[in-house]
Structure 1
Amino acid sequence: MRRILIADDDLHIRTLLRHVLTRENYKVIEAKDGLEATEILKVNPVDLAVIDIMMPGMNGLELCEYIRENYDLPIILLTAKDQLPDKEQGYKRGTDDYVTKPFEPEELVYRIKALFRRYQVAASAIIHLGRLTIDRNNYEITEGSSVILLPLKEFELLTQLAEYPSRLFTREELIRLIWGEDYEGDERTVDVHIKRLRQRFSAYQADFAIQTIRGVGYKLEVMHV
Structure 2
Amino acid sequence: MTRILIVEDEPDIASVLQDYLRHQGYDTEHIADGQLALARIQAAPPDLTLLDVMLPRLDGLAVLRGARARSDAPVIMLTARTEEVDRLIGLELGADDYICKPFSPREVVARVRAVLRRTAQAAVSNTPPCALTLDEEQWSASLHGEPLNLTRREFRLLQALARHPGRIFSRGQLLELAYEPVDDVTERAVDSHVKNLRRKLAALSPTHDWIRSVYGIGFSLETPDT
TM-score (norm 2): 0.56
| Residue aligning to 2:73 | 73
Distance in 1, matches of 2:135 and 2:78, equals: 33
Tell me if 1:130 matches 2:132.
Answer: no
Is the contact made by 2:35 and 2:57 (CA closer than 8 Å) also made in structure 1?
Answer: yes
- Rounded Cα–Cα distance in structure 1 between residues aligned with 2:121 and 2:105: 25
Contact 1:3 1:45 in 2 (8 A): no
Identity of aligned residues (%): 34
Q: Distance in 1 between matches of 2:93 and 2:44?
A: 22
| Unpaired stretches in structure 1, ≥5 consecutive residues | 134-141, 146-225
**Corresponding letter in the other structure for 1:30:** H
Q: d(CA) in 1 for partners of 2:53 and 2:13?
A: 13
Equivalent residue letter for 1:104: S
User: Aligned in 2, Cα 1:45/1:90: closer, same or farther, shift over 3 Å?
Assistant: closer
What is the aligned partner in structure 1 of residue 11 from structure 2?
11
Counterparts of 2:35 and 2:63 in 1: how far apart (Å)? 8
1:94 is displaced (CA, Å) by 1.5
Q: Is the 8 A contact 1:34 1:56 kept in 2?
A: yes
1: distance between equivalents of 2:93 and 2:42?
Answer: 20
Cα shift at 1:130? 2.1
Matched with 1:95 is 95
Alignment of 1:115 onto 2:122: no
- For 1:2, the aligned partner's letter is T
Q: Distance in 2 between matches of 1:70 and 1:132?
A: 18
Q: Which amino acid aligns with 1:130?
A: E
Letter in 2 for 1:84: E
SS of structure 1 residue aligned to 2:77: strand
- Contact kept? 2:45, 2:73, Cα under 8 Å: no
Shift of 1:61: 0.7
Change (3 A) 1:120 1:55: same
Contact 2:7 2:34 in 1 (8 A): yes
Counterpart Cα distance in 2 of 1:54 and 1:112: 20
User: For 1:93 and 1:56, how far apart are their aligned partners in 2?
Assistant: 20
Could you tell me how far 1:19 is from its partner in structure 2? 0.6
Superposition RMSD on alpha carbons, in Å? 2.7
Partner of 1:26: 26
Unaligned 5+ segments in structure 2 are 129-133, 149-226
- After TM superposition, give the deviation of residue 30 of structure 1 in Å: 1.3
- Residues in 2 aligned to 1:28 and 1:6: alpha-carbon distance in whole angstroms: 7
Describe the SS at the equivalent of 1:112. Answer: helix
Distance 1:39 1:102 in 2: 28
Equivalences, count: 140
1:127-163 CA-partner distances (Å, limit 9, x unpaired): 8552389xxxxxxxx9x79xxxxxxxxxxxxxxxxxx
Kept after mapping to 1: 8 A contact 2:51/2:60: yes
Match of 2:85 in 1: 85
Aligned pairs for 1:1-225 (under 5 A) are 1-123=1-123, 124-125=126-127, 129-131=136-138
Q: Which residue of 1 aligns with 2:203?
A: none
Is residue 51–residue 76 contact of structure 1 (8 Å, CA) maintained in 2?
Answer: yes
- The answer to which structure has the higher strand fraction is 1
- The alpha carbon displacement at 1:125 in A equals 2.5
- State TM-score, norm by structure 1: 0.56
Shift of 1:45: 3.8
